[in-house]
Structure 1
Amino acid sequence: MFELSSAIQAAEEMIITPGPMVFPPIVFGLLTLVILVALVGLTFSFRNMSAAHTEHNKVIQAEPVGHPGQPIIESGHSAH
Structure 2
Amino acid sequence: VINAEKLRVAGNKLQDKMYHHHTGYIGNLKSINLGKLLEKAPERVLQKAVKGMLPRNPLGRSMLKKLKVYAGTEHPHSAQQPKPLDI
TM range (shorter): under 0.3
Q: Work out which of the two has the higher radius of gyration on C-alpha atoms and give 1 or 2.
A: 1
TM-score computed with the length of structure 1 as normaliser = 0.24
TM-score by length of 2: 0.23
* Bigger RCO of structures 1 and 2 (CA < 8 A, at least 6 apart): 2
Bigger helix fraction:
1
